């Protein structure tokens, strides 16, 4: 390709790359620039820096799903919406949990097994899956929970990027593009999701330390 569609910084700690992003944009190497795992203050800071060169910050790729709603609760989503920065929602299926296929007798391998065990112990987890099944039923027999989880992200104005391991999953998930949830359906899913204990606290996320490190460096950078 002649131009990369979107050039993103993966982590918030690497301030030195900001001018590099802008240089790539100005030289016509990329069509748009974005970031990933940035907090609200970091998004505001890089938006200001890019705006000074007449370049929009296009996106912030962050974890966001029915089982990880912190961007709604901590102001991150509101900041992106206010600044016109598109949220690319990663892990929109909760690493697979929101497909509804994890059960006591069918646990995923590796670290996801611990997440599954935690969720399956939470009585509100099965109530969330029930709420998703109710929504799926309203949209036809072929509607899956994966599609509902992805459609919820779309209904919130984000662009979800689900991972897939095979063609069947890809064909399943892509059908979410034409699944438009009603306001009542989104509200019902929100209410059920709000009761589920999160599978990871932001304070336990390695990205949180990077954000704190960013806040310190940002003050130095802007001084
Ligand atoms: N920017 C960042 O720091 C960051 C961090 C993490 C991820 N990401 C990106 O986000 C994207 C997706 O996130 P993710 O893979 O972590 O989580 P996810 O999209 O929530 O879950 C994806 C997993 O769910 C299962 N799955 C997907 N579709 C399914 C279907 N229709 N039916 C049944 N199972 C299905 C598959 O795993 P199994 O078949 O094994 O169950 C798949 O690997 C990736 O492209 C990744 O690069 C970015």
pLDDT over threshold 50, residue 175 = yes
Q: Is the CB of 205 under 6 A from ligand 1?
A: no
Task: Give, using CA atoms, the residue closest to atom 27 of ligand 1.
Answer: 164
Exposed / middle / buried, residue 142 (Cβ in 10 Å: 0-12, 13-18, 19+): exposed
Instruction: Choose from 8-22, 175-189, 207-221 the range with maximum mean pLDDT.
Output: 175-189
Considering the chain, what is the average pLDDT of its residues?
Answer: 91
Q: Is the CB of 173 under 6 A from ligand 1?
A: yes
Q: Is the CB of 66 under 6 A from ligand 1?
A: no
Superfamily designation of domain 4-222: NADP-dependent oxidoreductase domain (3.20.20.100)
Task: Give, using CA atoms, the residue closest to atom 23 of ligand 1.
Answer: 96
pLDDT of residue 201: 75
pLDDT class of 206 with cuts at 50, 70, 90: low
Query: In a 3-state reduction of DSSP, which class is residue 125?
Result: helix
Question: Any idea which residue has 């799926």 for tokens?
Answer: 136
Give the closest residue to 179 by CA, choosing from 117, 137, 215, 120.
137
pLDDT over threshold 50, residue 223 = no
Write out pLDDT tens, residues 99-142.
999 999 999 999 999 999 999 999 999 999 999 999 999 999 99
Q: Is the CB of 70 under 6 A from ligand 1?
A: no
Spans of all domains in the chain: 4-222
Mean pLDDT of 63-78: 94
């Amino acid at each position: 390709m002649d131009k990369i569609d979107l050039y993103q910084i993966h982590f918030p700690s690497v301030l030195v790359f900001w001018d590099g992003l802008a240089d790539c944009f100005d030289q016509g190497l990329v069509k748009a620039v974005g970031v990933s795992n940035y907090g609200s203050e970091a998004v505001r800071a890089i938006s200001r820096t890019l705006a000074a060169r007449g370049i929009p910050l296009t996106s912030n790729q962050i974890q966001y799903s029915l089982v990880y709603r912190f961007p709604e609760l901590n102001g991150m989503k509101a900041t992106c919406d206010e600044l016109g920065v598109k949220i690319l929602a990663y892990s929109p299926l909760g690493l697979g949990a929101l497909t509804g296929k994890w059960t006591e007798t069918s646990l995923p391998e590796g670290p996801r097994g611990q997440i599954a065990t935690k969720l399956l112990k939470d009585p509100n987890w099965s109530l969330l899956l029930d709420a998703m099944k109710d929504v799926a039923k309203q949209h036809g027999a072929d509607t899956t929970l994966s599609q509902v989880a992805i459609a919820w992200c779309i209904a919130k104005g984000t662009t979800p990027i689900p991972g897939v391991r095979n063609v069947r999953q890809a064909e399943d998930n892509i059908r979410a593009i034409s699944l438009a949830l009603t306001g009542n359906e989104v509200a019902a899913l929100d209410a059920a999701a709000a009761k589920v204990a999160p599978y990871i606290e932001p304070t336990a996320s390695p990205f949180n330390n990077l954000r704190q490190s960013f806040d310190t460096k940002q003050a130095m950078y802007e001084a």
